[in-house]
Structure 1
Amino acid sequence: DITKEKENVQLVTKLFKAIENSPTIVVITDKNGIIEFVNPKFEKVTGYTFKEVKGLNPHVLSTGYTTKAAYKKMWQTISSGENWQGEFKNKKKDGTVYWEEAIITPVKNEEGIITNYIALKEDITEKKAQEKKFLYALFEAQENEKLKFGEILHDNLSQILSAMSFFIEAVLNPKNTKDQLKIEYLQKIRQLTYDAQRESRNISHGLMSKQLIESGLVAATIEVCTNYNLSKNINFTFKNSGYHEDLFEVEIKQNIFRIIQEITTNIVSHSQATKATIKFSVKDNEWFILEVNDNGIGIDETQIKENSKCFGLKNIQQRVALLNGIIKRNSKPNMGTKYIIKLPLVLEPINSELNLLN
């Protein structure tokens, strides 16, 4: 039918023009992922021409940020006939890093066999930058509030309790009283006062990160372990392999420290663990690795997904994202939980106005 054939040709022509003029990046590959077509938007964003990338794998754009496991999962999804949606941190021809959101759809022939893949992509670099600026502003406000409250707690409450201890010591002096019962009561009050002093000191240090500012991330982390070892029924161990304080600016270390605080708080509050380990390491002079594991009851991932109030875990994820990092959590019932967080060593200042992302 010549009429039907003409209609099909016209339709294909219209679709091709729509793709060519689309504000969305379009990439078509064969079943093995080899590029067969890219539209002008791809050329504009990446700097590569169609001729330069034809016959290549889209991996030519890779920065190495996406893990092999993530790529494997993506291929399992699309090769099974399902759509895949996610984000890539890619690199343009001139070396500029950019973010893109992608939807990859398999194309099947009449027999239902996959012959091609179509990727529709959007440059979301500016969107990610705005998100990071928002997160930075949010966390900066949180830090200011914590600092203010910590100072008040340390300067006021601790001084009051110290004065109380002084007067109680005076009353306990044998020259001042011989009432044994009163002495016993006052001894109990003294012990409670010491406990309150210790707790207020722990809280204020956690809020102010004074140790972090004065001595660095390692010293602050050791202090977290020490405080928990003294006050809780859990043994924290700290290990360091290759990390030194010059690797990060103070703003980056502040966020890493808050991540550690969030994770250790969850361990102490919910895990029922008796042992936990915090480890710093450096891999290939490119990545800082933070590992935290415990021997507790584990985390129910289903409850986390269903519970919108898991602010601590969400806070961890947001901070890792702010630092361009990767987070992986492994947990099994009664076999503990392990966090592995990878952060790139080359990070621009977290408070820069325009270059928060790259």
Structure 2
Amino acid sequence: MIQKDSQVYIIINEQGTIESFNLPATEIFGFKQEEVKGKKVDILFPHFNFHLLHQEDSSAFETLGVLKDQSITTFQVNCSRLLLLDQLYFVLHVETAKEQKSSFNKMKAELKASLSELMDFKFALDESSIVAITDQKGMITYVNDTFCKISKYSSEELIGKSHKIINSGYHSPDFFRNLWRTIGNGKVWKGEIKNRAKDGTYYWVDTTIVPFLNGKGKPYQYLAIRNEITGKKRAEEELQRMMSKLIGIQEEERKKISRELHDGIGQNLYSLLIMINRLRTDSNQQFIEQMETEISNIIDEIRQISWQLRPSILDDLGLIPAIRSFVNKFNEHYGLKTNFTYKLQRRLDSEVETSIYRIVQEAMTNARKYAKTNEISLSIIEGENELDIVIDDHGVGFDPKAKRNGVGLFSMEERARSIEADFQVHSQINEGTTIKVKVPFQ
């Protein structure tokens, strides 16, 4: 019997003479190699038109073959040309019809098993995810039942349309341009998208879009796999609202304390100072001067606390005057140099101005305490769609991966999140710390 994985091949020259007859061939035809070598190939395939091989580089055909016991069998022959030392040879790869059928049946069984496995994967994916396929122009060609269920559209309403049909209007055109640029270049895109269902309700999906590439490496269709995260996003939004409310309450308390310090204790101390001045002629002059000095220091200290809690200039004149005032007092009080550059021609929402002011205040305070630096750079520059804030302390830096016990960075991050700003910290040991905040204009 011929071995299962062996290949039967016969090599003939340009004249149709057999040059080589391998062992599997001897087993299937019954001839020994010395019995056929040097003889015309007709001894094996009497009806074979050998001259046709000269017309094509390779060919496949079916022909009758004669075995040594004179029995006749149908063979499938695949022929390829071989040029060796300027001599042309033909390599005949031979299979019996029985072998071919067996190979076909095996292939059919493997294909059936693969299809079954593929259907299992499809079932699992359909049960767990929202699936859609689009062509290279973005037109929907397939949606699963889960997609229809969450979007509240039927498959007939979706197929042939683009995903604009579920566009919520939440994301900017740049968001989708970046998405299409990524998948158009054959790369996988991942992100969170807010969509709108047919009934007008909104839902969030965690999305992965995989491009399918043709032989030239260009996408011909896209597979989008989504998982609903509406509950998660609602929880995040609720947390953000709570943080904004908490920050608002904190600011109101600061205002209240500031007014009380200024209008209550401050006024009382002023009255006390006036009384001491009246006692100058009747009491010990040196003692009175000492009391006067101490009370003056208390007044200055209360003013400083009041200024730090809530500068009235922030409410009256806006962000840039308030920060300029803070920087001047900060430099004077602590002996630091702050290079402040700015370009802002508009007033921002009160909550936004307050959050930016607190972030700058916290960042500069941290730099003074921990950076071991004499110089700080601060820039607030208005762009087309956002306000860019950069604080660079030129100090000793820190390891961002190390565990932090303070709440300074956390406070800044939360304030940035409350106004939907992007907050980034870059730091290296002995190379300083840079804080970047990008505040989108509403």
Query: TM class, shorter-chain normalised?
Result: 0.5 to 0.7
- Provide the secondary structure at the position in 1 that maps to 2:236: helix
Q: What CA distance in whole angstroms lies between the structure 1 residues aligned with 2:245 and 2:408?
A: 18
Q: What CA distance in whole angstroms lies between the structure 2 residues aligned with 1:282 and 1:333?
A: 31
**Gaps (5+ residues) in structure 2?**
1-105, 164-170, 213-221
Trace 1:97-108 onto structure 2 (pairs within 5 A). Answer: 100-101=205-206
C-alpha distance after superposition, 1:17-39 (max 9, x if no partner): 343354x4446899xxxx99765
C-alpha distance after superposition, 1:60-103 (max 9, x if no partner): x77546998xx99xx9xx99xxxx9x854667799x99865457
Please point out which of 417, 429, 433 is paired with 1:321.
417
Please point out which of 252, 270, 281 is paired with 2:370.
270
Q: Which has the higher contact order (CA 8 A, sep 6+)?
A: 1
8 Å Cα contact 1:225-1:236 kept in structure 2 = yes
8 Å Cα contact 2:341-2:380 kept in structure 1 = yes
- TM-score normalised by L of structure 1: 0.67
8 Å Cα contact 1:217-1:253 kept in structure 2 = yes
Q: What CA distance in whole angstroms lies between the structure 1 residues aligned with 2:409 and 2:313?
A: 24
Trace 1:283-294 onto structure 2 (pairs within 5 A). Answer: 283-284=383-384, 286-294=385-393
Please point out which of 214, 232, 235 is paired with 2:334.
232
Please point out which of 244, 250, 265 is paired with 2:350.
250
Name 1:110's counterpart in structure 2.
none
Q: What CA distance in whole angstroms lies between the structure 2 residues aligned with 1:196 and 1:67?
A: 59
1:10 aligns with 2:116: yes
Q: Residues 105 and 234 (structure 1 numbering): CA distance in 2 closer, same or farther, change over 3 Å?
A: farther
- Provide the secondary structure at the position in 2 that maps to 1:269: helix
The higher radius of gyration belongs to 2
Shift of 1:278: 2.6
8 Å Cα contact 1:326-1:342 kept in structure 2 = yes
Q: Residues 29 and 329 (structure 1 numbering): CA distance in 2 closer, same or farther, change over 3 Å?
A: farther
1:282 aligns with 2:382: yes
Please point out which of 153, 158, 161 is paired with 2:261.
153
Structure with greater proportional strand content: 2
Trace 1:171-320 onto structure 2 (pairs within 5 A). Answer: 171=279, 173=280, 175-177=281-283, 180=286, 182=287, 186-187=289-290, 189-245=291-347, 248-284=348-384, 286-303=385-402, 306-307=403-404, 309-320=405-416
**Gaps (5+ residues) in structure 1?**
55-60, 108-115, 347-358
CA RMSD of aligned residues (A): 4.5
Name 1:57's counterpart in structure 2.
none
Q: Residues 135 and 99 (structure 1 numbering): CA distance in 2 closer, same or farther, change over 3 Å?
A: farther
- Provide the secondary structure at the position in 1 that maps to 2:361: helix
Q: Residues 287 and 16 (structure 1 numbering): CA distance in 2 closer, same or farther, change over 3 Å?
A: same
- Provide the secondary structure at the position in 1 that maps to 2:391: strand
- The letter of the residue matching 1:261 is Q
Q: Residues 160 and 345 (structure 1 numbering): CA distance in 2 closer, same or farther, change over 3 Å?
A: same
- Provide the secondary structure at the position in 1 that maps to 2:119: helix
C-alpha distance after superposition, 1:33-71 (max 9, x if no partner): xx99765656755999565569xxxxxx77546998xx9
Q: What CA distance in whole angstroms lies between the structure 1 residues aligned with 2:256 and 2:299?
A: 19
Q: What CA distance in whole angstroms lies between the structure 1 residues aligned with 2:202 and 2:391?
A: 30
1:142 aligns with 2:273: no
Q: What CA distance in whole angstroms lies between the structure 2 residues aligned with 1:29 and 1:298?
A: 49
The count of corresponding residues between Structure 1 and Structure 2 is 308
8 Å Cα contact 1:19-1:39 kept in structure 2 = no
Q: What CA distance in whole angstroms lies between the structure 1 residues aligned with 2:161 and 2:419?
A: 33
8 Å Cα contact 2:261-2:302 kept in structure 1 = yes
Shift of 1:342: 0.8
